[in-house]
């Protein structure tokens, strides 16, 4: 694959880049917190639907979104109207951080596709281009279902947890996360893929491959 010579070479990180990433992280964290608190009636329970989890799709495009969703989740759990203790505050937040990091890593093939489409002058994704994105969004769905879904019943109904309740808790988180991440997060990531901020990430990321292909 030949790369257009107009694509930028990998620059050193400047203060402007650092400030941009810091701003992006702060915006994502603030949005996550605001959306979670605005929908607190359905964001904190065994059977929960947390719309802010749509933002966990952003790490596939923006590395700055990884700490952003982590900080947002941590603050939201701290401000939970019915706090569930340190396990939920730290456990749920660490799961969000790990899932965001995995999504960014798994999103690399999709970002490569986007860089290739930009080089070819295409703006509409074909169906095969969606597959890496779908895969990259699995971590926030699966990890939350397996980890958060398994400890929430013990925190909300201590001493009354049965195998059926545990399975129901994990299943409900799986379904709710899938609905939010794929129903809201996937379209959000697709809509933002051609913004200047997103292009800067994936064009810079793969500029080294352009040099190697010359």
CA angle 145-150-154, nearest 5°? 145
Q: Which tokens belong to 29?
A: 């964290």
pLDDT score, position 25: 96
Number of structural domains the chain divides into: 1
- Inside any domain, residue 4: no
pLDDT score, position 126: 63
Q: At 1, is the secondary structure helix, strand, or coil?
A: coil
pLDDT score, position 99: 98
Q: Whole-structure pTM over 0.95, yes or no?
A: no
- Inside any domain, residue 6: no
Q: Which domain holds residue 122?
A: 15-213
The closest alpha carbon to 45, from 157, 127, 123, 203, belongs to: 157
- Inside any domain, residue 179: yes
- Inside any domain, residue 10: no
Q: How many residues does the chain have?
A: 214
Cβ atoms of residues 137 and 187 within 8 Å? no
- Inside any domain, residue 20: yes
**Tens digit of pLDDT per residue, the chain (214 long)?**
444 434 444 445 567 678 889 999 999 999 999 999 999 888 876 678 899 999 999 999 999 999 999 999 999 999 988 778 898 899 999 999 999 999 999 999 999 999 988 877 766 666 557 899 999 999 999 999 999 989 888 888 888 888 888 898 899 999 999 999 999 999 999 999 989 999 999 888 887 666 655 5
The closest alpha carbon to 62, from 26, 21, 23, 33, belongs to: 21
C-alpha to C-alpha distance for 24 and 69, rounded to whole angstroms: 11
The phi-psi region of residue 124 (left if phi > 0; otherwise alpha if psi is between -120 and 50; otherwise beta) is beta
C-alpha to C-alpha distance for 116 and 128, rounded to whole angstroms: 14
Cβ atoms of residues 172 and 149 within 8 Å? yes
Q: What are the helix (H) ranges across the chain?
A: 15-38, 40-43, 65-78, 86-106, 108-120, 127-136, 138-143, 149-156, 163-180, 186-192, 196-205, 207-213
- Inside any domain, residue 51: yes
- Inside any domain, residue 32: yes
- Inside any domain, residue 55: yes
Residue 146 makes CB contacts below 8 A (sequence gap 6+) with 170
């Amino acid at each position: 694959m030949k790369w257009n010579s107009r694509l930028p070479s990998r620059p050193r990180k400047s203060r402007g880049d650092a400030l941009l990433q810091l701003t992006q992280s702060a915006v994502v964290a603030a949005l996550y917190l605001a959306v979670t608190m605005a929908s607190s009636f359905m964001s904190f329970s065994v059977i929960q639907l947390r719309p802010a989890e749509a933002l966990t799709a952003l790490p596939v495009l923006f590395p700055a979104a990884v700490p952003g969703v982590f900080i947002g989740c941590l603050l939201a759990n701290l401000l939970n109207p019915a706090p569930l203790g340190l396990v939920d505050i730290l456990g749920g937040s660490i799961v969000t951080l790990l899932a965001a990091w995995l999504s960014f890593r798994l999103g690399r093939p999709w970002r490569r596709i986007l860089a290739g489409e930009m080089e070819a002058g295409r703006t509409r994704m074909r169906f095969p281009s969606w597959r890496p994105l779908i895969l990259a969004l699995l971590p926030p769905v699966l990890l939350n279902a397996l980890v958060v879904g398994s400890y929430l019943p013990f925190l909300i109904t201590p001493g009354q947890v049965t195998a059926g309740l545990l399975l129901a808790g994990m299943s409900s988180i799986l379904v709710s996360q899938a609905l939010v991440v794929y129903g809201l997060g996937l379209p959000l990531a697709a809509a933002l893929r051609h913004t200047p901020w997103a292009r800067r990430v994936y064009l810079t990321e793969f500029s080294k491959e352009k040099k190697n292909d010359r």
